[in-house]
Chains A and B, each alone.
Chain A
Amino acid sequence: MFYRLAGVYHTTYAGERKLWPVPADRWQALGVLALGLLAPLLVGDLYLSSYLLPWLVWTAAALSLTLLMGVAGQLHFGFAAVMAIGAYTAIHLTRFGVPFEIALLGAGLMAAAIGSLFGAAALRVKGLYLVMATLAMQYLVDWTIINVPAISGGAQATLQAPEVSFLGAPMTNDTVQYYGALLWAAFLTVFIMNIKRSAFGRALVAVRDKDFAAAVIGVNVFRYKLLAFFTSSFLGGVSGAVLAFCYYEAVTPEQFSFDVSIQFVAMVLVGGLGSVIGAYLGAAFVLLLPIVLTNLVAGLADSGLLTISQNLQSHIPLMAYGALIIAFLLFEPLGLAKIYDNLRNYFRVWPFQHTRN
């Protein structure tokens, strides 16, 4: 019924490799984009700046990470540190009067340089040892930022983001910030989808599936692993800068702590490794579910339906978040992307279930 494949004929190679070969998918993507563009008119300022905006920025970060973890198969438990490098670089560059557009580029390059430096060091190992090495990287970057006053602006300091404008639009009001985040998320979506169907992406997938086998068929494993770290860190650095300018409007080291790194990994896993739509769904789930749950419990407690202590109430997001990760890994290891795929397959033949083989 929906997502119909009837009438979709590929007469050219280019047509067969389109991003959305099925018209229904294309319309759906355009519809979501239209909703995203109209969102400032549809929802209130509060929802826009405290739900939609962080969702988009976190999605952008999850997309950058899923390129590394899902497509290239390199585990990274220090992605928040990469974003911190980007955020601090962008803030310092703009404070020196560099235009925001160039500062974003500088943020990406700085994050990519340091990120691939660590990547190169960690590339002798894989799996668990890569997890540990990137975890150590997270602590090192954290410590450097906190203890070098030239970067953090002194102990316990918060660096305010200067007022900047992007392509002529001042990044101070909520709507412009929202569109900035939307632009970046949309760009990343198309970018990652294109990487996945390019020779570069296929080489990364070969490395992910078995690096020795990839080497045998002529993929330079070291080069592609390094490129994956470089690309992903670049995108992560820019995402960090976008996070700092569009959402927090300031930077402190705590915004990029180890727990945030774990959050990104959880988003990628809950969404589904290597999936673009999974990054959106995973970010929404991991970021928004604890907030929604907290509000729900707080509402119930306020209305007297539920009597729990303040202390327990404040720990519920943490419990929900942990239980969420465990539940997804146990019951749906392929993540929300798989659930979406199942639904899509169901509706594709609905109501003629028997035609599904």
Chain B
Amino acid sequence: MTYFFELLINGALTGLMYALAALGIVLIYKSAGVPNLAHGAMIMLSAYFIYIFASLVGLSLWLAIPIAAVLMFVFGLVAERFLLRRMVGQPIIMIVMLTLGLEILLRGVAPGFLGAAPKSLDLGIGLAPMIVEGVFINRAYLYGAAVAIAMIAVSLLFFQTRLGTKLRAVSDDHVSSWSVGISVERAIGISWGLAGVSAVAAGALWGSVQGVDWTLSTLLFPAIAVVILGGLDSIWGVLVGGLLVGILGSVVPGYLDPLVGGGTRDVVTSLIILVTILVRPYGIFGREDIERV
């Protein structure tokens, strides 16, 4: 039973960290309707930025992370302004492929200029696990989950502010927002910037857990499962979807891996995506799109 609880709790914590990685995808999809498949690479880029300022420049970590956040905000604005805005009105395959192209480019640029070998990013969390009632809990995941919950709470609150209300209006309908004087372009740009900032949080935490190298961009796959399951345009969906993906992705492999020889986590993630799309394509909390001919 202890084994089960260990899988359950650590799975839930990992899931919350997946939720943090998925938050940026939802922020962008909500306002712009663009599925940002480059988000994994943006997380990787953020981790590289933090690494540059913390290890190469030698700044304190608490200075390096804000600098990376500013840089990623600008990166988001630039990506939106010069890449995605030109694709408005194009078929979805063009937009998906453009973000994938950006992903491939970043995956080449960051390791290319900074070295492909994994780099360590120490947040000062410590490696010793926490033991509660005989259950080993990974301390890094625990702190990561706390940050994830905080970030999700901040995003929920943010959507209650004046700017957040504008973003919600934009996510409802571009043309109507225009007609009441909301600058849709600016709102979409800002949501890209915020997605960049959320990528920094994810990059810092995942970078400290996995080390900083290109494999951080593979977080895209669990993040996609999270947003598909939770609903592409729902912040609550990220939280619930993250927990489910994390728990299923930890408990099922925990019992099945010894039997079938490993790697079932990807299978669980794939099945979550497939089953969600079969049963309820718009996810648990997502808005169902009604298509008119």
Residues of A within 8 A of B (CB): 69, 75, 121-122, 124-125, 127-129, 131-133, 135-137, 139-140, 143, 146-147, 155, 210, 212-213, 262, 265-266, 269, 273, 311-312, 314-326, 329-330, 333
Measured between beta carbons, the chain A residues less than 8 angstroms from B260 are 147
Closest 10 A/B residue pairs (Cβ): A322-B105, A315-B112, A325-B101, A318-B108, A322-B104, A319-B108, A136-B270, A136-B273, A139-B270, A326-B101
At the interface with chain A, which of B67-75, B86-94, B157-165?
B86-94
Contact with A along B100-133 (1 / 0, CB 8 A): 1111111111011101100000000000000000
**Is the Cβ of B293 less than 8 Å from the Cβ of A212?**
yes
Taking CB as reference atom, which chain A residue is nearest B282? A129
**Is the Cβ of A139 less than 8 Å from the Cβ of B266?**
yes
Given contacts A131-B96, A136-B274, A139-B269, 20 further A-B contacts (CB under 8 A): A121-B278, A122-B277, A128-B35, A132-B273, A136-B270, A137-B274, A140-B267, A146-B263, A147-B260, A147-B261, A210-B293, A312-B112, A315-B108, A318-B112, A319-B105, A319-B109, A321-B108, A322-B104, A324-B101, A330-B98
Taking CB as reference atom, which chain A residue is nearest B33? A128
Closest Cβ–Cβ distance, residue A23 to chain B (whole Å): 35
What are 19 A-B pairs with beta-carbon distances under 8 A? A122-B277, A128-B35, A128-B92, A129-B228, A132-B273, A133-B277, A136-B270, A140-B274, A314-B112, A317-B108, A318-B105, A318-B108, A322-B101, A322-B104, A322-B106, A326-B101, A329-B94, A329-B101, A330-B86
**Is the Cβ of B116 less than 8 Å from the Cβ of A315?**
yes
Closest Cβ–Cβ distance, residue A348 to chain B (whole Å): 29
* Distance between Cα atoms of A121 and B277 in the complex (Å): 9
Closest Cβ–Cβ distance, residue A139 to chain B (whole Å): 4
Contact with A along B231-266 (1 / 0, CB 8 A): 010000000000000000000000000001111101
Measured between beta carbons, the chain A residues less than 8 angstroms from B271 are 136, 140
Closest Cβ–Cβ distance, residue A153 to chain B (whole Å): 14
Measured between beta carbons, the chain B residues less than 8 angstroms from A314 are 112, 116
Q: B105 contacts which of A75, A124, A213, A326 (Cβ < 8 Å)? A: A326
B97 within 8 A of partner (CB): yes
**Is the Cβ of B111 less than 8 Å from the Cβ of A330?**
no
Closest Cβ–Cβ distance, residue B261 to chain A (whole Å): 6
Closest Cβ–Cβ distance, residue A131 to chain B (whole Å): 6
CB contact under 8 A between A325 and B98, given known A75-B93, A319-B105? yes
Measured between beta carbons, the chain B residues less than 8 angstroms from A321 are 104, 108
Measured between beta carbons, the chain A residues less than 8 angstroms from B100 are 262, 325
CB contact under 8 A between A269 and B94, given known A121-B274, A316-B108? yes
Measured between beta carbons, the chain A residues less than 8 angstroms from B112 are 311-312, 314-316, 318-319
* Distance between Cα atoms of A127 and B106 in the complex (Å): 25
Closest Cβ–Cβ distance, residue A254 to chain B (whole Å): 14
* Distance between Cα atoms of A143 and B86 in the complex (Å): 38
Taking CB as reference atom, which chain A residue is nearest B274? A136
B83 within 8 A of partner (CB): yes
**Is the Cβ of B113 less than 8 Å from the Cβ of A312?**
yes
Closest Cβ–Cβ distance, residue A94 to chain B (whole Å): 27
Closest Cβ–Cβ distance, residue B140 to chain A (whole Å): 26
Most A CB contacts (10 A, CB to CB) among B103, B224, B267, B271 go to B267
Q: Which residues in chain B, 188-237, are within 8 Å of chain A measured between CB atoms?
A: 221, 224, 228, 232
Measured between beta carbons, the chain B residues less than 8 angstroms from A262 are 100, 104
Measured between beta carbons, the chain B residues less than 8 angstroms from A212 are 291, 293
Taking CB as reference atom, which chain B residue is nearest A325? B101
Taking CB as reference atom, which chain B residue is nearest A312? B112
* Distance between Cα atoms of A266 and B113 in the complex (Å): 25
**Is the Cβ of A132 less than 8 Å from the Cβ of B277?**
yes
**Is the Cβ of A322 less than 8 Å from the Cβ of B108?**
yes
* Distance between Cα atoms of A312 and B114 in the complex (Å): 8
* Distance between Cα atoms of A213 and B292 in the complex (Å): 11
Taking CB as reference atom, which chain B residue is nearest A118? B274
* Distance between Cα atoms of A203 and B93 in the complex (Å): 21
Measured between beta carbons, the chain A residues less than 8 angstroms from B111 are 311, 315
Measured between beta carbons, the chain B residues less than 8 angstroms from A333 are 90, 94
Closest Cβ–Cβ distance, residue A279 to chain B (whole Å): 16
Q: B277 contacts which of A129, A210, A316 (Cβ < 8 Å)? A: A129
Measured between beta carbons, the chain B residues less than 8 angstroms from A319 are 105, 108-109, 112
